[in-house]
Amino acid sequence: MKLKIILAIISVIVLVGGVIAGVILVRQRQLLTKQAAPATSLTLVSSNSSPAVGDTFSVNVNIDTGVNTVIGTELYITFDQNKLQLDSFSLGSFFVNPNIQTQNIDNAIGNATYILFLPTGTIPLSGQGVVVSLNMQAVAGGVASIGLSPDTLVAAIGGDVGTNVLENTNPTSVTVVSSQPVSSPTPTPTSGAGFSPSATVAPTLTSIPTPIPTSPGTGGVSTPTPTVSSPTPTSTAGSAGSTQVTLTSVKDGQVVSDTTPTFSGTASPNATISITISSPDEIKGTVKASSTGTWTFTPTTALTAGSHTATIIATSTTGATSTTSVDFTVSAAELPDSGISFPTILGIVFGIIVLTLSGALLKFASKGT
Show me where the domains of the chain are located. 2-35+343-367, 37-179
Q: 114 near 77, Cβ under 8 Å? A: yes
- Comparing 188 with 246, the larger pLDDT belongs to 246
Going by C-beta distance under 8 Å and a sequence separation of 6 or more, which residues neighbour residue 165? 36, 37, 38, 39, 40, 65, 68, 70, 154, 155, 156, 158
Q: Sorting pLDDT into bands at 50, 70 and 90, what band is 32?
A: very low
Return the minimum-mean-pLDDT range out of 89-98, 176-185, 211-220, 239-248.
211-220
- Burial (CB count within 10 angstroms: exposed 0-12, middle 13-18, buried 19+), residue 161: exposed
pLDDT reading at 305 higher than 90: no
Q: Sorting pLDDT into bands at 50, 70 and 90, what band is 335?
A: very low
- Comparing 343 with 282, the larger pLDDT belongs to 282
CA distances from 218 to 211, 223, 343 (A): 14, 15, 125
- Comparing 325 with 335, the larger pLDDT belongs to 325
pLDDT of residue 75: 96
| Phi, psi angle pair for 322, to nearest 5° | -145, 140
CA distances from 293 to 47, 144, 145, 247, 263 (A): 13, 19, 21, 12, 14
pLDDT, average across residues 130-136? 96
Average per-residue pLDDT for the chain? 78
Measured at the CA of 143, the angle between CA 142 and CA 145, to 5 degrees, comes to: 140
Q: Which of 12-16, 193-197, 290-294 has the highest mean pLDDT?
A: 290-294
Q: Sorting pLDDT into bands at 50, 70 and 90, what band is 44?
A: very high
- Comparing 41 with 360, the larger pLDDT belongs to 41
Distance between CA 26 and CA 19 in Å, rounded?
11
Q: DSSP code of 83?
A: T
pLDDT reading at 340 higher than 60: no
pLDDT reading at 5 higher than 80: no
Q: Sorting pLDDT into bands at 50, 70 and 90, what band is 334?
A: very low
Distance between CA 173 and CA 150 in Å, rounded?
18
pLDDT of residue 178: 87
Return the minimum-mean-pLDDT range out of 160-164, 254-258, 285-289, 340-344.
340-344
Q: How far is CA 91 from the centre of its chain?
A: 15
pLDDT reading at 307 higher than 50: yes
Which segments of 65-210 are extended strands (E)? 70-79, 84-91, 99-106, 111-117, 128-138, 142-148, 153-157, 161-164, 166-170, 172-176
pLDDT reading at 195 higher than 60: no
pLDDT reading at 349 higher than 60: yes
A 10 A CB-CB count for 235 gives: 6
Q: Which residues of 129-139 are buried (b: 16+ CB within 10 A; e: fewer)?
A: bbbbbbbbbbb
pLDDT in tens, 202-218: 555 455 555 555 544 44
Measured at the CA of 139, the angle between CA 137 and CA 141, to 5 degrees, comes to: 120
- Comparing 21 with 154, the larger pLDDT belongs to 154
Q: 259 near 271, Cβ under 8 Å? A: no
- Comparing 358 with 285, the larger pLDDT belongs to 285
DSSP structure string for 272-299: EEEEEE-SSS-EEEEEE--TTSEEEE--
CATH level 2 (architecture), domain 37-179: Sandwich (2.60)
Q: What percent of the chain has pLDDT over 70?
A: 65
pLDDT, average across residues 250-268? 89
- Comparing 357 with 258, the larger pLDDT belongs to 258
pLDDT reading at 155 higher than 80: yes
pLDDT of residue 300: 86
